[in-house]
Structure 1
Amino acid sequence: MGTWDVGPFDNDTAADFAGDLDEAALEEREAMIQGVLKRAVGPGDLLGIYDGERAVAAAALVVAQHPDGDPACSSYGPSEPLTELSADLRMLAVDALDQVVSNWSELAGLWAEAANWSKWRQGITRLRNVLDPPIPPQEEVLFEI
């Protein structure tokens, strides 16, 4: 696994995916992102490493267009612009990220053995929380009569 850091594009597979997006026609890029996310959530016994790495990168691009999202493009991300991505991709990206960190993910298994596993996992959680924020616990309200 050619990985140099924990960011969405900090591995060879995601950087190659970014290059593929840059080389594609502008109108083809959303379909490429959607295809990667669908492959991650599609039927299968195990999510492979490379599909997992591409799914994280694709989800980061969806997050980057969310009003609460951070830019996804590190120096290894796409350098060409994307069209406005469909909001329908948000929940697909959430499902893909959930699959990436599941017990059925080779990528999660590899990261679980790494020293900076928790930092990687926090990054995935941050991406996911932008798209599907956790519901805060409700405070107990006491009324006086």
Structure 2
Amino acid sequence: MGAWDIGHFDNDTAADFGGRVDDAEPEEKADVLRAVLTAAADTAPEDYLDEGEEAVAAAALVAAQCPGGEPITTAYGPKDPVPPLPADLRPLAVRALDRLTGANAEPLDLWAEAGAEKEWLAGIAALRAVLAAAPAE
């Protein structure tokens, strides 16, 4: 992971994902987010989860549309507006974040190696709180 800061889009993989969201047709953007969130959420705890940066970025996009969510203002996120997302992505994003902060998860391991896991986990916890508080319907 080529990272330059702790933000949800401040690494090469997430920045590329922002471009992939832009490349999707408006009606397909939710499917792009759903695919990466599902891949992270459904990774078994005993299996190593690598490249979870896309799931963090997808969760940030979902959270941005929730009450209390922070808008995505970084130049590394999608340039085009993301249309309203289905509410069922919210609990899926929570599950993905929970998996990313558990055992056998590369992003957490990498931030721990860099000595920044507390800061990264705080950002994930803030996303999770917004997502968990929002209605799932």
Question: When the two structures are superposed, what TM-score results if normalisation uses the length of structure 2?
Answer: 0.91
Task: For residues 14-72 of structure 1, give each alpha carbon's deviation from its aligned partner in whole angstroms, at most 9, with x where no partner exists.
Answer: 00000011111111111000001000012441111x2x100000000000000110112
- The letter for the 2-side match of 1:123 is G
Percent identity, please.
51
Q: Which residue of 1 aligns with 2:41?
A: 41
Aligned mates of 1:14, 1:100 — CA distance in 2: 14
Q: Which residue of 2 aligns with 1:84?
A: 84
- The letter for the 2-side match of 1:28 is E
Aligned mates of 1:19, 1:112 — CA distance in 2: 27
Aligned mates of 1:124, 1:71 — CA distance in 2: 15
The Cα shift of 1:116 comes to: 2.2
Task: Report matched runs for 1:53-68 at 5 Å.
Answer: 53-68=53-68
**Unpaired runs of at least 5, structure 2:** none
The RMSD of aligned alpha carbons is 1.1
Q: Which residue of 1 aligns with 2:132?
A: 132
The Cα shift of 1:75 comes to: 1.2
Larger Rg: 1
Is the Cα contact below 8 Å between 1:63 and 1:72 reproduced in 2? no
- After TM superposition, the runs of 4+ consecutive aligned structure 1 residues lying more than 2 A away are none
Is the Cα contact below 8 Å between 1:36 and 1:54 reproduced in 2? yes
Aligned mates of 2:43, 2:97 — CA distance in 1: 15
* Number of aligned positions between the proteins: 131
- The letter for the 2-side match of 1:47 is L
